[in-house]
């Protein structure tokens, strides 16, 4: 058996095949990052060994087309986080850096972690569509925030006494009021720039709200039970769907929790028994679970009681919240997996009922 590591770039990809037993390099190949090049990689890999796993550094936009090509042709593909590859390179005896060295480092990182523990690549076009729209939404919100900050400074220079509440520049009422002030002012360069910023903010706000409605409809169609979880809005649900990219990729909720960075890491020494924060994993997925945990702590009585119990055990506020995030990772995994399988199974195995509503928190 071999593990083929792939170091992907915009114009070319480099693959290195490592023996599963020893980690030694058997062969390597560099080809253009186009479909003819992908076909060369596939033929080359099939000639090397009948039993093979492709380990691709998870660079999304750079590696996505190659990953989808391999999965569509029936190949087993796993994703390797860039951080794992970097750790593999540090432990290597080979000095320097090249595409060949990086490709072999990806393969060895997959072998070290165990290919079965890594998330498998999964063709889920609906989740990809949600991710693309959500990324575009987030980019527009970021650009709008930049415009709002610039507009605030221009307005402060023009009228220092003008007080604009936080979040006011998202609302049409305030934009109309500011535009009226600017139109009545002398047409200086600063005023003209401010009017252009108001128009840009207005247009971006309209597009952001349109995208939010479109994303909510897609999420409702993809996994309506996710929206039934108390505190999980459409954007949080969309982020979970986009980053999980198919719950079937994970054979257990523990693997999803590890990828999300919400599984606690043992940090015990001597008589001191403790766990610490995992700073690795998918930070976008971690952020979505964090938002969900904060909302659950406010809105869901079971979650509130769970946090209070953890605080009573001597955990800090953040440690208690991390425990809740781990429980929510289990709930999200089971909800999405049941939705993908087309049936709703029991959410909490510790409850006597065979069916529970999705907002029921999974507590152990």
272 vs 243, higher pLDDT: 243
pTM: 0.77
pLDDT at res. 89? 54
At 60 the pLDDT is 67
Evaluate whether 164 touches 151 at the Cβ level (below 8 Å).
Answer: no
> Mind listing the pLDDT tens digit for each residue in 84-103?
765 555 555 555 678 898 89
Q: What 8-state DSSP symbol labels residue 264?
A: P
Q: Which of 110, 30, 45, 44 is nearest to 78 (CA)?
A: 110
Contact 48, 27 (CB under 8 A): yes
Looking up tokens 């991390």, which residue turns up? 322
Q: In this structure, is the dihedral angle defined by the CA atoms of residues 223, 134, 122 and 252, taken in order, positive or negative?
A: negative
The Cα–Cα gap between 113 and 218 comes to: 35
Q: What's the pLDDT score for residue 278?
A: 76
Instruction: State the number of CA atoms in the 13 A half-sphere of 235 facing the CB.
Output: 14
**Percent of the chain having pLDDT more than 70?**
88
Q: Is the pLDDT of residue 207 over 60?
A: yes
pLDDT digits (tens, 9 = 90+) for 265-283: 777 777 676 666 777 778 8
Bridge partners (DSSP) listed for residue 80: 57
Give the dihedral sign, CA 100/102/105/110.
negative
Contact 139, 46 (CB under 8 A): no
């Amino acid at each position: 058996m071999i593990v083929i590591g792939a170091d992907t770039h915009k114009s070319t990809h480099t693959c290195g095949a490592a023996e599963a037993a020893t980690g030694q390099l058997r062969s390597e190949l560099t080809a253009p990052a186009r479909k003819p090049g992908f076909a060369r990689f596939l033929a080359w890999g099939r000639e090397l060994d009948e039993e093979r796993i492709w380990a691709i550094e998870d660079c999304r936009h750079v590696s996505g087309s190659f990953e989808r090509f391999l999965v569509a042709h029936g190949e087993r593909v796993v994703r390797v986080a860039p951080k794992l590859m970097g750790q593999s390179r540090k432990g290597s005896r080979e000095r320097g850096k090249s595409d060949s060295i990086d490709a072999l480092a990806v393969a060895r990182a997959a072998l070290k972690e165990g290919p079965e523990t890594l998330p498998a690549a999964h063709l889920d076009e609906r989740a990809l569509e949600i991710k693309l729209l959500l990324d575009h939404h987030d980019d527009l919100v970021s650009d709008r925030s930049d415009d709002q900050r610039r507009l605030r400074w221009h307005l402060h220079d023009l009228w220092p006494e003008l007080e604009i509440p936080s979040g006011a520049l998202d609302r049409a009422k305030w934009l109309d009021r500011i535009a009226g002030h600017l139109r009545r002012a002398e047409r200086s360069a600063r005023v003209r720039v401010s009017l252009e910023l108001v128009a840009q903010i207005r247009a971006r706000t309209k597009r952001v709200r349109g995208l939010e409605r479109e994303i909510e409809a897609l999420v409702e169609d993809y996994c309506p039970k996710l929206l039934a979880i108390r505190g999980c809005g459409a954007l949080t649900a969309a982020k979970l769907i986009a980053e999980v990219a198919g719950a079937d990729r994970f054979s257990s909720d523990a693997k999803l929790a590890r990828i999300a960075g919400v599984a606690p890491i043992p940090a015990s020494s001597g008589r001191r028994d403790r766990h610490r924060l995992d700073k690795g994993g998918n930070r976008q997925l971690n952020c979505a679970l964090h938002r969900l945990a904060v909302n659950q702590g406010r809105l869901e009585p079971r979650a509130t009681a769970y946090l209070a119990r953890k605080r009573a055990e001597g955990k800090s506020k953040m440690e208690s919240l991390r425990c809740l995030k781990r429980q929510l990772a289990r709930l999200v995994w089971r909800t999405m997996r049941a939705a993908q399988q087309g049936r709703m199974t029991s959410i909490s195995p510790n409850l006597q009922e065979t069916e529970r509503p999705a907002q029921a928190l999974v507590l152990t």
